[in-house]
């Protein structure tokens, strides 16, 4: 039986991916933040569940340690939790909220799970967004973790660009050891996305506009994640790549910048170092 750990599985795309994989006979671990929602999905799927607020790296660290203990084999790690936030620009760890929840927390989780991911020859699937193209263009490494000029839209574009750069560098560093990685855009999905913002995006996702042509259901939005999870890397998809609608998709020049991917990795390593060090004490 194959095993998938899915973050952001308490709602939207992650929940639907968990349902689809469970229907295909997989073991799935439901990882969420909201207790009631996470427990409800887990109960419905008869699956184990885990709670962590990714705005608190101490909780991500505890989650990683628990998952390492509970899962000797991981076929898929779906780093899917995320979204756009405007109410609290900095986390308790002192990093920009969108950057931490979408990227840095998943970076820490993936780094902690790496021994098992490698022995399992796992796929790491990162939920990015087409927003990396439109509002990730101003990405500057020294301005993503603690931005001087905060904008929720820029922060979201930056974070989703970080998902793609992380994917590329994961591939470069670990593919030779058997790991595969992909990033994908799920589509414009009528989920709970943007519920915590005062952005115009809230209008699109939480009014009648969500029934506009081109806006898809969370079940449809989960399809590329499920496709990446269930199809063989190296055969159906290429590790290190970016996908949409179950095929390779175009990215920006910035998203293909190998030096930027390496620099983001090194910066992320430094930012999470205190959490990894504490673990070994």
Ligand X SMILES: NC(=O)c1ccc[n+]([C@@H]2O[C@H](COP(=O)([O-])OP(=O)(O)OC[C@H]3O[C@@H](n4cnc5c(N)ncnc54)[C@H](OP(=O)(O)O)[C@@H]3O)[C@@H](O)[C@H]2O)c1
Binding mask 120-149 for ligand X (x = CB under 6 A): -------x-x--------------------
Q: Which one, of 82, 33, 88, lies nearest residue 59 by Cα? A: 33
The string over 207-220, giving b where at least 16 C-beta atoms fall within 10 Å of a residue's C-beta and e elsewhere, is eeebeeeebbbbbb
Residue 61 Cβ, how far from ligand X at the closest point, in Å?
13
Binding mask 157-196 for ligand X (x = CB under 6 A): ----------------------------xx-xx-xxx---
Residue 119 Cβ, how far from ligand X at the closest point, in Å?
26
The residue of the chain with the least Cβ separation from ligand X equals 12
By CB under 6 A, residue 236 contacts ligand X: no
Restricted to residues 66-105, the positions that interact with ligand X (CB under 6 A) are 80-83, 101-102
Which residue lies nearer to ligand X by CB, 114 or 164?
164
Cα 78 to chain centroid distance, Å, stands at: 6
Residue 196 Cβ, how far from ligand X at the closest point, in Å?
8
Which residue lies nearer to ligand X by CB, 69 or 87?
87
Stretch that binds ligand X, among 8-16, 66-74, 111-119, 165-173 (CB under 6 A): 8-16
Instruction: Give the residue numbers annotated as catalytic, written as ranges.
Output: 156
By CB under 6 A, residue 243 contacts ligand X: no
By CB under 6 A, residue 223 contacts ligand X: no
- What residues make contact with ligand X under the rule CB under 6 A? 8, 10-14, 32-34, 37-38, 53-55, 80-83, 101-102, 127, 129, 185-186, 188-189, 191-193
């Amino acid at each position: 039986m194959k095993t998938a750990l899915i973050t952001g599985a308490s709602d939207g795309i992650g929940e639907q991916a968990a349902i689809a994989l469970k229907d295909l006979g997989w073991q799935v671990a439901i990882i969420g933040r909201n207790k009631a929602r996470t427990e409800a999905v887990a109960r419905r799927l008869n699956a184990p569940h885990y709670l962590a607020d990714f705005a608190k790296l101490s909780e991500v660290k505890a989650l990683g340690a628990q998952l390492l203990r509970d899962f000797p084999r991981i076929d898929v790690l779906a780093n899917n939790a995320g979204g756009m936030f405007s109410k609290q620009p900095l986390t308790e760890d002192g990093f920009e909220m969108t950057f931490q929840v979408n990227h840095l927390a998943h970076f820490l989780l993936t780094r902690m799970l790496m021994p098992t991911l490698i022995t399992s020859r796992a796929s790491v699937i990162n939920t990015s967004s087409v927003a990396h193209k439109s509002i990730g263009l101003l990405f500057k490494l020294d301005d993503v973790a603690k931005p001087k000029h905060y904008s929720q839209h820029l922060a979201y574009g930056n974070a989703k660009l970080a998902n793609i750069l992380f994917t590329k560098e994961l591939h470069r560093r670990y593919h030779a050891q058997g790991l595969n990685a992909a990033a994908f855009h799920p589509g414009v999905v009528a989920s709970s996305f943007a519920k915590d913002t005062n952005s115009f995006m809230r209008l699109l996702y939480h009014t009648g506009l969500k029934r506009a042509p081109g806006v898809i259901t969370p079940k449809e939005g989960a399809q590329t994640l499920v496709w990446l999870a269930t199809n063989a890397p190296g055969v159906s998809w290429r590790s290190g790549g970016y996908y949409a609608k179950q095929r390779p998709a175009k990215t920006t020049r910035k998203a293909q910048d190998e030096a930027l991917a390496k620099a983001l990795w090194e910066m992320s390593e430094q930012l999470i170092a205190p959490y990894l060090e504490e673990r070994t004490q």
